[in-house]
Amino acid sequence: MPFEILEKQELVPTIYLMKISAPRVAKKAQPGQFVILRINEKGERIPLTIADFDREEGTITMIFQTVGKTTAHLASLRAGDELLNFIGPLGNPAHIQKEGTVVLVGGGVGVAPIFPQTRAFYEAGNRVISIIGARSANLLLWEDRMRAVSHELYITTDDGTKGHHGFVTDIVKRLLEDGVNIDRVVAIGPPVMMRAVAGVTRPFNVKTIVSLNSIMVDGTGMCGACRVLVGNETKFACVDGSEFDAHLVDFTLLMNRLAVYQPEEKIALERYKCEREGCLC
């Protein structure tokens, strides 16, 4: 059964929003889960975290960045086009309960998957402090949405074009050093950012959760491609996660594994561009 694209937007350069008609997935979706999609019979399977869901509409919203062949192909589709496969929800839901003060940190495209968790923690009665960051102001995502479900919202940009001139970790460190009683930190974004957040919170012994975006194939724990090292134990991000204790994650191994197929990814993207432009490669 094909899955129709109901809406497609370019939110900021290279980052797109897609709303997909998938009633059965929407019915079961929870914050922290993901889907695996395939565009057509010749396409690869890629995981994308659920950025939002609407049970009444029967829709799933995804936000993705064009980094390789499949995301470039996905970005070329329009409302009315269809996806061949759209499987989910996969992974374990985020652990949401009333804890007190929760700090949610989103970096770059990671703001999208942090949003449903922010909303859920807010609705559960927590004091929610949100921190979102990007390289520049024109790359910031969902500021209004995050503000609507946060008691406090901090913005950081690497170049200082909006908010704090620096990194999300600067704000996390400031809050901790100012004595804010934080019960939990959740961080989603590039691995280097999540590792930095873990490094800041570790000396303060604050529970910190990260969502790992390791390479996946089947998303059901059978292939083992998404294995990560957590507390010196091998875990599968698709079925054991995708959320883990940040203070136990081996981020160096994670980043090394994410880089394994970069040469092949570059070749595939160049071939795809050639095919679309009709050039000889």
Residue 275's pLDDT band (cuts 50, 70, 90): confident
Q: Is 256 exposed, middle or buried (0-12, 13-18, 19+ CB in 10 A)?
A: exposed
Annotated binding residues for [2Fe-2S] cluster, written as ranges, equal 223, 226, 238
Q: Where are the chain's structural domains?
A: 3-90, 101-258
Nearest CA among 76, 68, 23 for reference residue 48: 68
Q: Is the peptide bond before 130 cis (omega within 30 degrees of 0)?
A: no
Task: Indicate whether 19 pLDDT > 70.
Answer: yes
pLDDT, tens digit, for every residue of 206-239?
999 999 988 888 888 888 888 999 999 999 988 9
- pTM of the predicted protein model: 0.91
pLDDT, tens digit, for every residue of 22-78?
999 999 999 999 999 999 998 899 999 999 999 999 999 999 999 889 999 999 999
Annotated binding residues for FAD, written as ranges, equal 63-65
Annotated binding residues, written as ranges, equal 63-65, 223, 226, 238
Residue 66 vs residues 122, 133, 155, 276: alpha-carbon distances, Å: 31, 19, 24, 16
Q: What is the four-CA torsion angle of 168, 52, 81, 21, rounded to 10 degrees?
A: 170
Lowest mean pLDDT among 110-114, 210-214, 259-263: 259-263
Helix ranges restricted to H, the chain = 23-28, 69-76, 111-123, 143-148, 168-177, 191-201, 237-240, 251-258, 262-277
Architecture (CATH level 2) of domain 3-90: Beta Barrel (2.40)
pLDDT, tens digit, for every residue of 153-183?
999 999 999 999 999 999 999 999 999 999 9
Nearest CA among 83, 63, 69 for reference residue 18: 63
pLDDT number for residue 258: 87
- Going 221 to 226 to 230 to 232, the CA torsion angle's sign is positive
Mean pLDDT of 80-109: 95
As assigned by CATH, the class of the 101-258 domain is: alpha beta
pLDDT, tens digit, for every residue of 120-159?
999 999 999 999 999 999 999 999 999 999 999 999 999 9
Unique residue bearing structure tokens 């679309």: 276
- Going 158 to 12 to 147 to 63, the CA torsion angle's sign is negative
Task: Indicate whether 280 pLDDT > 90.
Answer: no
CB neighbours of 31 closer than 8 A, spacing ≥ 6? 50, 93, 94, 96, 116, 117, 119, 120
